[in-house]
């Protein structure tokens, strides 16, 4: 019987990619559904409540960045070590990433308890938005361990080729969150009406339950390829370095996204809180388009990382091409939907006429970029799978900071809100070409080295 990791190097690529990706795609779709449903409920409170969540979103992106960076770094390292048949090193990487999740959880909880109000004041001076945003984000920050542990644990399992269990964990968390939201937000049954604070409590409670499930799977199940025992944990700085060679650039990429969202909200504030709410709706809806691609990545990365560690260039090429085509199909479908029914999408959140007009315009213009975003995501993930996260960071910085924010500001300043949204497709177009060239050169060097190694062995 082959282990999960050995199948990464032998099973037919398309069936393997689908088997590994479909559970993650389903889980990501449910996660996207939770994000949208959560915002729909909050949107029923008021447009200001929706704007407050949009202002809190950049802070959540920072938390996600910490979890994603550590998790991606761990997943990449684990899959490469398994490809090298070094199970002990893979287990060590998993144990270190779990301890990192606990460290970050405690640190963020302290910062959130002390400074939530001051953080919100960075984005707006409107007292009502600060009050509601602070109510929400303080609870999220204090309960951040319940986010870090599941995110990082899911990536540990994906690194060994197990994408089914992360799907179950994400389904548990998202479904419980969706169920709890209306009870805690609107005060249904025995629960008090808590507004945006209720949305935050529902989120943290759902994460605690899904995290408890993962604790059992990781530490007590005997079916995992990596048998983790924290009793024998011994700190090794080199493992931390190996995780963050890939993980730190991925983390900084998320931080850049947070900075971009914060900067965008500052620019949009000049056009009123409704413009901020419209952007918040877009970012909730776009998760339906991009989450499946990120789910695809969860199957793609271990295959790519394993075959890179296993010196199998032909399998790497086929995996890349197959994944690229699937990603393009996902994002092009999203483009078609956003172009044809934008009004219907906005109305799910709120029927305010001004929000409908601004939001519809935003969705149609921003989604022009969707067909090229699929390949951009796969290119970024490929660098990470190869143990080199720096190029992904460079292109993320180029797209979000060097191009997007300045172009957005200039378009808004000279042409108004209606044209400001074109900054998104402009920034994507500016980054996709150099990213493609860099990856092509990277592949050329890697495959040449593999061929030379094969000749020496032969």
Which pLDDT tens digit goes with each residue over 217-265? 888 877 777 778 777 778 889 999 989 888 887 788 788 888 888 899 8
Residue with tokens 């998202």: 174
- At residue 5, the pLDDT reads 59
Q: Which two tokens stand for residue 436?
A: 């493609």
* pLDDT band at residue 2 using 50, 70 and 90 as cut-offs: low
Yes or no: say if 18 and 163 are a contact pair by the CB < 8 Å rule.
Answer: no
Residues above pLDDT 70, as percent of the chain = 98
DSSP annotation of 8 reads: T
- pLDDT value of position 141: 95
pLDDT class for 455, splitting at 50, 70, 90?
low
State how far the Cα of 384 lies from the Cα of 429, in Å rounded to an integer: 21
* The pLDDT of residue 358: 94
Q: pLDDT tens digit string along 159-171?
A: 877 778 888 888 8
Read off the DSSP letter of residue 231. Answer: G
333: Cβ–Cβ under 8 A, 6 or more apart, which residues? 289
Within its chain, how far is the Cα of 376 from the centroid?
14
**pLDDT, position 117:** 84
Provide the percentage of residues in the chain whose pLDDT is more than 90: 36
pLDDT of residue 1: 47
* Cβ burial, residue 339 (10 Å; 0-12/13-18/19+): middle
| Residue 345 confidence class, pLDDT cut points 50, 70, 90 | very high
Q: Using DSSP, state whether 389 is helix, strand or coil.
A: coil
Per-residue model confidence (pLDDT) at position 81: 85
Q: Does the pTM of the predicted model rise above 0.75? A: no
Range from 26-35, 94-103, 442-451 carrying the lowest mean pLDDT: 26-35
How high is the pLDDT of residue 335? Answer: 96
């Amino acid at each position: 019987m082959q282990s999960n990791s050995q199948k990464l190097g032998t099973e037919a690529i398309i069936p393997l990619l689908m088997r590994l990706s479909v559970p993650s795609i389903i889980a990501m779709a449910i996660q996207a559904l939770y994000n949208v449903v959560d915002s729909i409920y909050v949107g029923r409170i008021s447009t200001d409540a929706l704007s407050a969540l949009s202002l809190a979103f950049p802070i959540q992106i920072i938390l996600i960045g910490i979890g994603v960076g550590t998790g991606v770094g761990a997943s990449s390292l684990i899959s490469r070590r398994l490809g090298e048949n070094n199970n002990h090193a893979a287990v060590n990487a998993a144990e270190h990433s779990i301890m990192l999740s606990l460290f970050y959880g405690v640190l963020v909880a302290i910062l959130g308890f002390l400074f939530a109000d001051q953080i919100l004041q960075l984005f707006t001076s409107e007292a009502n938005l600060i009050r509601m945003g602070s109510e929400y984000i303080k609870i999220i920050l204090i309960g951040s361990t319940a986010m870090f542990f599941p995110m990082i644990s899911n990536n540990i399992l994906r690194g060994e080729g197990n994408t089914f269990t992360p799907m179950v964990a994400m389904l548990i968390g998202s479904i419980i969150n969706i169920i709890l939201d209306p009870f805690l937000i609107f005060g249904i049954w025995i629960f008090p009406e808590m507004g945006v604070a209720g949305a935050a409590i529902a989120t943290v409670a759902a994460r605690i339950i899904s995290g408890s499930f993962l604790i059992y799977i990781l530490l007590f199940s005997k079916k995992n390829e990596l048998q983790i025992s924290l009793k024998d944990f011994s700190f090794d700085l080199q493992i931390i370095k190996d995780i963050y060679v890939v993980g730190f650039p991925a983390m900084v990429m998320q931080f850049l996204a947070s900075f971009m969202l914060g900067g965008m909200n500052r620019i949009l504030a000049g056009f009123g809180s409704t413009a901020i709410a419209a952007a918040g709706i877009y970012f909730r809806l776009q998760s339906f388009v991009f989450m499946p691609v990120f789910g695809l990545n969860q199957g793609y990365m271990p295959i790519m990382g394993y075959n890179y560690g296993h010196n199998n260039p032909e399998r790497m090429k086929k995996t890349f091409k197959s994944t690229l085509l699937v990603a393009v199909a996902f994002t092009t479908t999203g483009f078609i939907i956003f172009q044809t029914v934008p009004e219907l999408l906005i109305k799910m959140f709120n029927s305010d006429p001004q929000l409908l007009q601004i939001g519809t315009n935003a969705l149609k213009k921003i989604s022009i970029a969707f067909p090229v975003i699929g390949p951009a995501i796969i290119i970024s993930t490929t660098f990470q799978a190869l143990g080199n996260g720096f190029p992904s960071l460079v292109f993320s910085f180029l797209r979000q900071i060097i191009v997007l924010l300045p172009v957005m500001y200039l378009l808004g300043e000279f042409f108004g809100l209606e044209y400001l949204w074109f900054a998104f497709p402009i920034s994507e177009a500016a980054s996709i070409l150099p990213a493609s060239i860099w990856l092509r050169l990277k592949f050329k060097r890697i495959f040449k080295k593999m061929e030379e190694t094969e000749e020496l062995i032969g």
